[in-house]
Amino acid sequence: MKFSRIFLTLTVAAAFTACSNKTEWDIDGDMNTTDALVGFESATVVYNESDGLVKLPIKVTGERNGNVKINVKATDGTAVQDVHYIVTSGDLNIPAEEKVSIELRLLDDGQEENEDREFTLTITSAEGAKVSEIATCTVTLKDVDANPFFKLFGTYEAEAYDLDGNPCNFTVTIDDEAEATEQYLYAAGQPESFYGFDTKWILAYSDDGTLTFEYGYWDGLYNFGSFTGVVTLQPFFFDEENERWVPAESASATYNDTYDTITFEEGMAVGTGVYKYENSQITTYAGRYDGPVYVTKFTKVPATPAE
């Protein structure tokens, strides 16, 4: 089955302009002269230590006729700069009618279980505005290593077999797609025999030791000639009575007490299902494109210690 890909373009509006890569930079135009206030949106904010790069917005209220400059200072608490977080302190310029954020890089401490850590950011002075009541923000870095959801993150070797029993192992990486909702795990990876790219498995998470593989996805629409469709990664089971592979709504899996092995239910195979896309909706199942491939388990690859 030959097809051409139709690219989907998503337009994303940038809410904030990050500018923490410099401690000071010049802006064109005059300083603000109106009664504006500048401060943090909240006096406290909580991030997971595994969140990576995050943006903490600065709030300016009141109409402005010019630019605002503030000085921001970071003060260690139980969280230590360059060990648990990185932030550029110093002058921060806010051009008129624009929003700005402080860019923080959170440094995960691996799988070490510890108490939550915190540090503070303080607006020590402002030019072109008065500092609001929320001049200080306490940033809490929430430890995630005692939570099974986060313990399942990592790179895994997938044990898989084709229909003739030949191994076709591949690698997948599990994460939470940047938002730790503790509802779904995302595993990126697929057998080499599958056509596609950036394949995502979606695994519904439960803290009782079970997971449910519901489906996966590729990005984009595809022209199959007689129809336009989407391609999904999903579980299949063999229908002995009718001697055919049928797509399943889900497949069950379990993870072990050490969070390094995920075992799928017996007979579960992974294939790529094709669905018609009509009137801006995914409609009827049109058949398989690739697969199926039996997948029995994921085994975590030990992390390489950082040098």
DSSP secondary structure string for all residues of 199-256: -EEEEEE-TTSEEEEEEEE-SSEEE-SS-EEEEEEEEEEEETTTTEEEE-S-EEEEE-
Q: Half-sphere exposure of residue 34, counting CA atoms within 13 Å on the CB side?
A: 13
**Which pLDDT does position 196 carry in this prediction?**
61
User: With left for phi above 0 and alpha for psi between -120 and 50, is residue 279 left, alpha or beta?
Assistant: left
pLDDT in tens, 94-119: 998 888 899 999 887 776 778 889 99
Distance CA 100, CA 98 (A): 7
Q: How confident is the model at residue 53 (pLDDT cuts 50, 70, 90)?
A: confident
257-281: average pLDDT: 91
Q: Please report which confidence band the pLDDT of residue 181 belongs to, taking 50, 70 and 90 as the band edges.
A: low
Comparison of pLDDT for 63 and 288, the residue scoring more: 63
User: SS3 of 45, please?
Assistant: strand
- CA pair distance 208, 47, nearest whole angstrom: 25
pLDDT band at residue 49 using 50, 70 and 90 as cut-offs = confident
Q: Give SS3 for 285.
A: strand
User: What is the pTM for the complete model shown?
Assistant: 0.59
- Looking at residue 212, its pLDDT comes to 96
Report the pLDDT value the prediction gives residue 14, as an integer from 0 to 100. 29
- Per-residue pLDDT tens digits for 201-235: 889 999 899 999 988 876 678 888 899 988 888 89
Q: What 3-state DSSP class applies to 277? A: strand
> Is the per-residue pLDDT at 275 higher than 60?
yes
CA distance linking residue 301 with residue 174, whole number of Å: 11
For residue 302, name the pLDDT band (cuts at 50, 70, 90): confident
